[in-house]
Structure 1
Amino acid sequence: MKKFLTIIKTVGAVLLCLILIVTVTVYFYMKQPQFGALPEGERLASIKESVHYKNGKFRNLEEKPVITPGYSFIEEIWKSLVETYPNTEPEGVLPSVKTNLKAIPSHENILVWFGHSSFFLQVDGIKILVDPVFSGKASPLPWGVKAYKGSDVYTVADMPEIDYMLLSHDHYDHLDYETVKALQSKVKFVVCGLGAGAHYEKWGYKPKQIIEKDWGDKLEVKQGFAIYTENTHHAGGRGFKDSQALWLSFFIQSSAMNIYYSGDGGYSDRFKKIAADHPAVDWAIMECGQYNKAWQSVHELPEEVALATAELKAKNLLPVHHSKFTLARHPWNEPLNRIYALSQSKNYSLATPIIGEVVRLDDGAQTFKQWWKNVK
């Protein structure tokens, strides 16, 4: 019995040491700059004045469980760890075009997509960069999610001077430390949700560069040009404390055209309200990928993307959030296959550019190929 108790004590001491080592390792690893910073001081005091910040974090307009009723969070984690799913990333190289963004005439209204949710937008002479991720990864961990072959051909050096960099939310596949830090000298202003400015300041951005907004706010860029920060149904976070920075969608109103970017978020009736508040959407840039019925509340299924685009009464749809990172279990090309099929009977036109292809936003005759059909 005495020997048995000694063994138990030894095992307990070893386990305690292991837990202590892991805890200390995680603590110091989380001190690395890519994890950003939590809001504090005046920024935190300002956040607490928002009606969307309750009980220590930002909340969606309608509270819903992240995991769909009937699914188990533990089972979903287990499936992700031990089960394999076919065709979740391409075997071949994705096609791309290396467009010289610095040579595009300022009077042209164009969009260039870089894969996932990163894109460059030039409208009415204003240069906008959205959710740029050029590091080739969507994770703070060295062994984390990597970009598909051919999907990461653009770098910070390829970017022109940027008037406004827009951030939808602070998840790693939208807010990339290496990219954002390297862009600092090229960016005049960052527009982000309340709280997200803490990340940018930690990474060397000047306070005057950072514009933090709540849902329903408006930024006057120039006469006839405004950026509205609207809601979406999602979450945020880069560490153990979630939803300390607000997640956004954007409505860009200009004399040339109106553009809506959904950011990430599950389907809700917000699209009808956005259409009522901001009629005449020329282009809807919509999240379409990295979805699963198990977490449908925070990422739309393709059927919901098509429905939301119709409810926005948009003239054109450009689906994003696909073809760069595997963050869900569906085949990598399924979002494009499904949204293509769903869009055939709709009143909007579907744009499916390859990475780097120039989308001429005021050219209704431009056509696009089903490029993903030629990739294994």
Structure 2
Amino acid sequence: MMVPFLIVILLLATITFFYLQQPQFGENPSGKRLAEIEKSVHFKNDRFQNIVERPTLSEGYTMLGEMYNVVFKDYPRREPSDSLPSVKTNLKNIPADSDALVWFGHSSVFMQLEGKKILIDPVFSGKASPLPWGVRAYKGSDIYSVADMPEIDYLFISHDHYDHLDYETIVGLKDKVKHVVCGLGVGAHFERWGYKPEQIIEKDWNEKIELDDNFTIFTETSHHESGRGLLRGKTLWMSYLIQTSDLKIYISGDGGYDDRFKKIGEKFGPIDWAILECGQYDKAWQSVHNLPEEVAQAAVDLEAKNMIPVHNSKFTLGKHAWDEPLKKITQLSVNKQYRLVTPMIGEEVDLKNKHQQFKRWWENVN
């Protein structure tokens, strides 16, 4: 009886090994890149570590229990039955002297600052998984493609999970991107996918990239993880602070709540715009994804003047209703010191206009 069982196990292992060699899984750091990574104080025991390590699963939860819940329990309205409303802004026609932002759903954002065009965590393939049957974008949320993008001066990647680093999108953008900004190790994926080493700016936490006299990028911490295949923690997860001549913009990436928001606020505040992860959360994995009340507190900690909640309205990765993040953060933001900004997908945000109005566009969507 054991022989057939072992043959099946060996066959499955062989299939998995060869499947993981496909290009969408990227490349783990090696050679000189790995040698540089090993110099980082945040790389210990053969992987990157959070500043203060804590279990990914909260106390009282188990991986088997969570898998059972997702497979066998019903959670209502996890995705919209209607098509999401959107606006198709022509990114190529935004005036060069405008400081503007356009959100594409989930964590994908275009910004134009000081005439520079920036793209953050773009996912235009319509999926958040390397598997053919994986997580798909909601109807109406995937209206932009690589063809709609102008030439990009700086492509920012927060970390290498599939819903932030999308193979098909990155390959499609290759001839439009001048520079890539990412955490240590992530450049290995880009080199495998045809980007040149000189295009890639890989940084550790608490570093600075001075692009010119009026444009500086600060690489900041997060509490999260990384990995595209079976290995975890080989590449670094990031948040970013962009400082121009008259704007400070914080991009949280993914990560659970901790004192980093307070420290960043003390270091850079007040911050003009905070783009904060708010969606695909659960108390089971609270350590690596903010709950809505933590998002609101993070905006306060950052001394943010304006806050845009992202990581919602495109993919179902959590168990909550698809519109719960927007409903909750709207309630939690009443009488807060920051202005909550909730554009529709594709709607242009004027970063210099304090009085621009935004609809609660999700309220009439089933």
Alignment of 1:203-242 (within 5 A): 203-242=193-232
In structure 1, the residue matched to 2:192 is 202
Matched residue, 2:75? 85
CA contact (8 A) 1:194 1:212 kept: yes
Q: How many residues were matched structurally?
A: 366
How many Å separate the matches in 2 of 1:247 and 1:131? 12
The alpha carbon displacement at 1:280 in A equals 2.3
Matches within 5 A, 1:78-227: 78-227=68-217
C-alpha distance in structure 2 between counterparts of 1:137 and 1:194, whole Å: 25
Residue 262 of structure 1: how far off its partner (Å): 0.4
TM-superposed CA distance for 1:18, in Å, is: 1.1
* 1:261 and 2:251 are equivalent in the alignment: yes
- Tell me the TM-score normalized by structure 1: 0.96
Residue 375 of structure 1 and its aligned partner are, at CA, apart by 0.7
Q: Where does residue 338 of structure 1 map in the other structure?
A: 328
The superposition leaves residues 167-225 of structure 1 with CA deviations (integer Å, 9 ceiling, x where unpaired) of: 00000000000000110110010000000000000000000110000000111111121
Give the residue type in structure 1 aligned to 2:10: L
| Cα distance in structure 2, aligned partners of 1:237 and 1:84 | 29
**Contact kept? 1:124, 1:256, Cα under 8 Å:** no
Q: Do residues 76 (structure 1) and 86 (structure 2) align?
A: no
> Contact 1:235/1:246 (CA < 8 Å) preserved in 2?
yes
User: Which amino acid is 1:222 matched to?
Assistant: D
Contact 1:123 / 1:256 at 8 angstroms: preserved in 2? Answer: no
* Residue type of the alignment partner of 1:99: T
Pairwise CA distance, 1:256: 2.7
Q: Does 1:42 align with 2:16?
A: no
Q: How far has the Cα of 1:328 moved from its partner?
A: 0.5
Are 2:337 and 1:370 equivalent residues in the alignment?
Answer: no
* 1:144-182 Cα shifts (integer Å, max 9, x gaps): 000000000100000001010000000000000000011
Q: Which residue of 2 aligns with 1:295?
A: 285
Q: Residues 20-72 of structure 1: CA distance to partner in whole angstroms, max 9, x if unpaired?
A: 11111111100100000000000000000000000000000001000111222
1:50 corresponds to which letter in structure 2? S
Q: 2 CA distance for matches of 1:12 and 1:345? A: 66
1: CA distance, partners of 2:151 / 2:270 = 29
Q: Which amino acid aligns with 1:92?
A: D
3-state SS, counterpart of residue 315 of structure 1? strand
**5+ long unaligned stretches in structure 2:** none
Of the three residues 60, 74, 84, the one matched with 2:50 is 60
Bigger CA radius of gyration: 1
Alignment counterpart, residue 352 of structure 1, candidates 327, 337, 342: 342
**Separation of aligned partners in 1, 2:195 and 2:215:** 25
Q: TM-score, normalised by structure 2?
A: 0.99
Q: Distance in 2 between matches of 1:138 and 1:318?
A: 21
How far apart, CA to CA, are the structure 2 residues paired with 1:223 and 1:279?
20
How far the C-alpha of 1:73 sits from its partner, in A, is 2.2
The separation in 2 between residues aligned to 1:161 and 1:72, in whole angstroms, is: 45
Matched, 1:31 2:31: no
Find the counterpart in structure 2 of residue 4 from structure 1: none
Provide the C-alpha distance between the structure 1 equivalents of 2:213 and 2:272, rounded to a whole number of angstroms.
Answer: 19
Aligned residue type for 1:243: G
Deviation at 1:16, TM superposition (A): 1.4
Instruction: Give identity over the alignment, percent.
Output: 59
Q: SS at 1:169's partner residue?
A: coil
CA-atom RMSD, angstroms? 0.7
> In 2, are the aligned partners of 1:118 and 1:130 still within 8 Å (CA)?
yes
Give SS of 1:212's match. Answer: strand
